[in-house]
Every structure is written in C-alpha cells, then in structure tokens.
C-alpha cells in the first residue's frame, strides 16, 4: 500500500481505527486518551512513517509558530563578527531554547541595512528582538508593528510598542573617560562607533555629531564628552572591528603630537588601536593608554588585560528572552536598564 503523498493525521487515525481528534490528542497529550488507544495511534503512525503533526497546519490553527525573529541592521557577516552580538544571541537562545523551534535570523545584505519590508511582513514570527537596530527612525519596526508582533529592542531608543533592554552607555562611557582623566591625561582622543546609516571611516565632523544616528554611537560619545567637558578629537570607525580600530589608531597616532590616551568605544576597536600603537613603536600603557568598551574576551592581548566598561552581554539576551516570554503570555514587561561597570586593566596608566 504505497502512498505517494505524505501521510497525515487523518491517515493515521483511519489506520488506527480512531477519529482524528483522538489521534491528535494522542500526539499532543492535551486531553484524556486511554493508554491502549494512544499506543495504537503511535503504532499506526510509526508504520505509516508519519512524522508527527505538520508544523504549518498546527501553526495556523494555534496562531503561533514558536519562532522568534532576531533582526540585525546589517549583513550577517558583519553582525556575527561582533562578539557582543554572539553573546546576546547565546543568552537569547538559552532563555528561549525550550520554548520553540529556534531563532530566525533576519539580516540585511550589501545594499540593505537589515531585512526588507517584504521579509518582515512574510516572516512567520511570534515575536521579534531587535539586536542592532538603534536608530531613532527605524524603518524595521513598522512592518512588525502593523502585524502586532511583540517586539523587544536592545539598546535602542525608547519606542512605543517596543520593550527595551538597555545598558547605561552614557554613564559607563563617562566613567571610563573619567578614569583616564584621573590618571592625568590631557591629550585624549576617541574612536567612536559607526554613526550609521552611511557608515564611513574618518575624522568625525560636526555635521554627523548633530544628525540623529545610532543612539549607541551618540550615547558613548556623549559620556566621553561629558567627562572631558568639551568635544573630543574623534575618529569614526566604519565598523566595530579590530581592523577598523587599527586604521583609527594609525590615523590618530601617526602625527606630530599624538594623544597620550585613546578611548575606544568598543573592545575590538581598542584592540586594533593597541595593535596600531605597537606597529608605530609605542608601548601600551607606557606611551599610550587605551580603554575599550564591552568586556569581551581578548585572549590575544595577553598578557595585557584591557581597561574597559564591562557590560552584561549574555544577560542582555537572557532578559530579552524573558521579555519575549512575558509578551507572549500577555504580560507587559517593564523596560530594563542594566548596569555597566568599569574594569581597570593593564592598558591604562599615567602619562609619562
């Protein structure tokens, strides 16, 4: 009795001599079924090669897929190069693991910063987490808002309908810079995050400071300048990577009167700055102090440990996951602001 099409619950039920509803209960366990019947159904299923209830049919009926979308405003290769994003995903996966099938990764490509509107409209999601969508004017939330998909933002601006997991970017950045100042540094430069959109590499000009871009970019810059009490000589990186940090370091250090300290707004950028310094024959921290932001593992800097602002990366993901769970249960979670603490490492010291 070969069948060319996949068996369905109807076939299984028929073969077991029960109704479809009973067969359904035998699989879901959502109702009373005698052990004997249950076994008959499962046996019939095994014999027919039935793989269990069809996920799409079940989704349509129940109104949910179990899938959580994770939205990145960049191409996958760039998003996943960032240890902070990976840690976030890990926390998210850990928290949501038992819940459903998994995480649907929604990224952009070379042309688009983030998934297309069509993608967002067609994705079978129960909820979405914005991993790196920190723009004031975020075109990515609208398609999901229309669908009434619960949303959680990470370090974004406060937006109606988007629950927020935030960290104290301004305060932490200020604290790092204050540490540098307290060591006695006068000539301080900064390497700031990509302004986004239209990321570019180069000295930060006034125009870009004032236009609204990424709030993380703006907050970390603001913290640094609040500490200094004036605007800081800054280089804008096109991405948060070691290579970009290195380019920044070269640009800032290979001049007549280089700074004695550089505040980088990510650890990867800081690592690049340190590398550039070494290449230019400068010792860290003797000739140059360098601070970062994030608190990622930097085993390759060993024996140096980076002075940095340690943010709870995995925890951000876990909390976002918990918020998703709450939202799906109909609860309205409070926004969360997580603390960041200064970790003084070996890359900062008084100027000579």
Residues that bind DNA in the complex, under the rule CB under 7 A: 5-6, 8-10, 17-22, 24-25, 27-28, 30-34, 36-37, 52-54, 57-58, 60-63
- Which residues, in sequence order, are bridge partners of residue 337? 166
Structure tokens at 175: 């604290």
Give residue 172's Cα distance to chain centre.
Answer: 19
Footprint (CB under 8 A) of a copy of itself, residues 23-52: 49, 51-52
DSSP string, 167-229: E-HHHHHHHHHHHHHHTT--SEEEEEPP-SSS---EEPPHHHHHS--BHHHHHHHHHHHHHHT
The answer to whether residue 237 forms part of the interface with a copy of itself (CB under 8 A) is no
Residue 45 C-beta: closest distance to DNA, Å? 10
Count the Cβ atoms, other than its own, within 10 Å of residue 225.
18
Beta pairing, strands 341-343 & 261-264:
unpaired
The answer to whether residue 266 forms part of the interface with a copy of itself (CB under 8 A) is no
The answer to whether residue 90 forms part of the interface with a copy of itself (CB under 8 A) is yes
Footprint (CB under 8 A) of a copy of itself, residues 118-177: 119, 121-124, 143, 146-148
Contacted by 246, from DNA, a copy of itself, none: CB < 5 to 8 Å by type: a copy of itself
Q: What φ, ψ does residue 229 adopt, rounded to 5°?
A: 80, 15
Beta pairing, strands 336-338 & 162-167:
parallel
Name the segment binding a copy of itself (CB under 8 A); options: 172-180, 220-228, 286-294, 296-304: 296-304
Residues at the interface with a copy of itself (CB under 8 A): 6, 49, 51-52, 54-60, 63, 65-67, 69, 75-77, 80-81, 86-87, 89-90, 93-94, 97, 100-107, 109, 115, 119, 121-124, 143, 146-148, 242-243, 246, 271-272, 275, 279, 299-300, 302-303
């Amino acid at each position: 009795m070969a069948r060319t099409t996949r068996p369905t619950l109807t076939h299984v039920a028929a073969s077991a001599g029960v109704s479809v509803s009973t067969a359904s209960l035998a699989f879901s366990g959502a109702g009373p079924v005698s052990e004997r019947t249950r076994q008959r159904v499962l046996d019939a299923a095994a014999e027919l090669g039935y793989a269990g209830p069809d996920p799409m049919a079940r989704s349509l009926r129940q109104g949910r897929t179990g899938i959580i979308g994770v939205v990145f405003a960049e191409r996958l290769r760039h998003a996943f190069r960032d240890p902070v994003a990976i840690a976030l995903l890990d926390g998210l996966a850990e928290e949501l693991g038992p819940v459903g099938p998994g995480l649907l990764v929604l990224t952009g490509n070379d042309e688009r910063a983030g998934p297309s509107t069509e993608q967002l409209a067609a994705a079978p999601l129960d909820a979405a987490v914005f991993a790196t969508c920190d723009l004031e004017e975020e075109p990515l939330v609208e398609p999901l808002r229309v669908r009434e998909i619960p949303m959680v933002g990470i370090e974004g601006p406060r937006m109606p309908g988007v629950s927020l997991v935030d960290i104290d970017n301004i305060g932490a950045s200020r604290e790092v810079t204050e540490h540098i100042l307290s060591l006695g540094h006068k000539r301080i430069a900064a390497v700031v995050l990509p302004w986004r959109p239209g990321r570019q590499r180069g000295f930060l000009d006034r125009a870009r400071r004032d236009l609204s871009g990424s709030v993380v970019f703006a907050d970390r810059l603001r913290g640094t300048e609040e500490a200094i009490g004036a605007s800081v000589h800054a280089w804008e990186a096109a991405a948060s990577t070691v290579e970009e940090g290195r380019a920044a370091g070269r640009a800032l250090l290979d001049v007549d009167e280089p700074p004695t300290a550089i505040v980088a707004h990510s650890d990867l950028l800081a690592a690049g700055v340190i590398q550039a310094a070494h290449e230019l024959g400068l010792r860290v921290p003797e000739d140059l102090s360098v601070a970062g932001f994030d608190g990622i593992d930097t085993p390759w800097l060993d024996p140096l440990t980076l002075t940095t602002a340690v943010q709870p990366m995995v925890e951000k993901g876990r909390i976002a996951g918990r918020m998703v769970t709450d939202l799906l249960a109909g609860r309205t979670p409070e926004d969360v602001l997580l603390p960041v603490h200064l970790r003084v490492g070996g890359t900062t010291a008084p100027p000579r």
